[in-house]
Chains A and B, each alone.
Chain A
Amino acid sequence: MPYKLSFPIVLAVLALVLAVPSNLPAGEAASKNVILSTTTSTQDSGLLDVLVPLFEKKSGYSVKTVSVGTGQALELAAKGEADVALVHAPSLEKKYVADGKLLNRRLVMYNDFILLGPENDPAQIKSTKSSPKSSIDAMKRIAASANRFVSRGDNSGTHNLEKSLWKQAGIEPKGAWYIESGQGMGATLGIANDRNGYTITDRATYLAFRKRVTLAILLEGDRPLLNIYSVMEVNPANGPRINAAGGKIFADFMVAPETQAVIKSFGVEKFGQPLFIPVAGMREEQVGE
């Protein structure tokens, strides 16, 4: 035995290990923290990795980004567990604004949702110039032919859009053909791809997964498929310790011209096209015109 470690040495090592994290950044000044509740798509696209450091440098605030489904992001903000929300479910957002939980809803950017499905398109939803179809029409055809459809099923922004399409089509989706993944967009795309089903995705996630997805884009460019992101400030009356000032500064930052310019060029290098189109200052009806 070349060397001998004894039990006390083991304890000493443990004590050392214990001492290490004392230098972790645990509590910066509280008012310098802004909690942003946002959706997975803004995080997964990498946009926030660009915008957040920019904001932190400019404002001196430190941002804690919590990226969850839009439904949860709005609920967290309404409970006062966040200071500002960046989400994409206009009809849901308007409810929170009407209830006074969220304030000053401002449009930030948009892209679009697309309907994907098997190349041979058994439900015949493909929209072409000679036979244009609407997204609502497509949902009706999928349900009528009981072709497999994979839903997020997680009250995310994408799921909310899907629900509104079913509602407008007058259909309550149910049955073996309707699969709820309960997962993020990437995982849901994977399931739809494996099971050769139809699904709705935001374009940014599709572009990120394009290499691994054999499903074809069957329908795009329809007005109800617009994917609009807005920023809202949290009403300081929602709970204790809300950093309303920090939230407002972040919201202002998102619609500032310099930030909008960054959004406009984001993703061009990697995907050959921008992932989001800035629309600050526009009204909802003007978007996509």
Chain B
Amino acid sequence: MELIWEGIKHAGLLLLSRDAEVLGITLFSLQVSSAATGLSLVVGIPLGMLLAMKRFPGHSLAVSIINTGMGLPPVVVGLFVTIFLWRSGPLGFMELLYTPTAMIIAQVIIAFPIVAGLTMAAFQSLNPNLPLQLLGIGASTPQLLWLLCKEARLPLLAAIMAGFGGVISEVGASMMVGGNIRGQTRVLTTATVLETGKGNFEIAIALGLILLVLTFAVNLLLTHIQQREQIRWPKPS
């Protein structure tokens, strides 16, 4: 218990003293995971919409793959991305291993199935007559998609939160493809592993707490947006 108090005290001190390295790592974690989440939205939302609204041969196979991908183990993703990015690997010529770009690639692979799967669920739960009605009042296809997105915005925001939560908290892939290099690819999770390995448990706990606070802040923002217009349930009479 004493150790946890020490950790909390340490976290406060690290943040208050505006320790340049810790602030840098925190900001960098946020940047990498935000970029990965953003890119996974670009891929995941259209894919989820497609799977929800179109039937095609191999549809259920594709859905199964996406559903499996929602639970993709980061360390496996890390392993495959590393092998692809090795100098001797197919993408070795790009010299991307141990760079932030490699970390973003791995995190996109982790996050986009989560976003796609939850988007699909969100669109499937819409009233199936809604598209017909919207088309009936003369909506063009882009207008239709936009209006459907607006209609499904609450579960879509949940998808964003789940995707972000998946990548900001992941350590296996970031460790493997990033290499946990000081000042270059060190994020909060890999720094926590390192400090634990060094026996600096107070600092490890402090980093863990900073990660929790960061995740909480991001989710608070998204939740605020999501819950802004609450459904007013009728009072039971």
Contacts and interface: CB of A to CB of B under 8 A. Distances in A.
Interface of A: 1, 4-5, 7, 10, 14-15, 17-18, 20-21, 24-27, 30, 33, 35, 40, 43-46, 49, 52, 62, 64-67, 79-81, 184-187, 205, 208-209, 211-212, 239-242
Nearest to B82: A81
Interface residues of B, number: 40
A27 B93 CA distance: 12
A24 B179 contact: no
B110 to A, nearest CB: 17
Nearest to B98: A64
B87 A65 contact: no
Contacts of B41: 14
A65 B181 contact: yes
A40 B179 contact: no
A192 B98 CA distance: 33
A10 B157 contact: yes
B184 A25 contact: yes
A66 B197 contact: no
B4 to A, nearest CB: 14
Most buried by B among A21, A27, A33, A209: A21
Interface stretch (B27-35, B68-76, B128-136): B27-35
A24 B197 CA distance: 28
A66 B100 CA distance: 15
B155 to A, nearest CB: 13
A65 B87 CA distance: 16
- Chain B interface, >50% SS class: helix
B233 to A, nearest CB: 18
Contacts of B38: 14-15, 17-18
Nearest to A208: B199
A46 B195 CA distance: 10
B191 to A, nearest CB: 12
B220 to A, nearest CB: 14
Nearest to B200: A208
Contacts of A45: 198
A27 B182 contact: no
A5 B99 CA distance: 36
A287 B35 CA distance: 51
Contacts of A185: 197
Nearest to A45: B198
B104 to A, nearest CB: 7
A241 B34 contact: no
Given A17-B34, A40-B197, A26 B99 contact: yes
Given A5-B228, A7-B153, A64-B98, 9 more contacts: A14-B41, A17-B37, A24-B31, A64-B184, A65-B181, A81-B88, A185-B197, A186-B198, A212-B199
Interface string B212-237: 00000000000001001000000000
A212 B198 CA distance: 12
Contact of A209 (B34, B87, B104, B199): B199
Interface in B23-55: 31-32, 34-35, 37-39, 41
B101 interface: yes
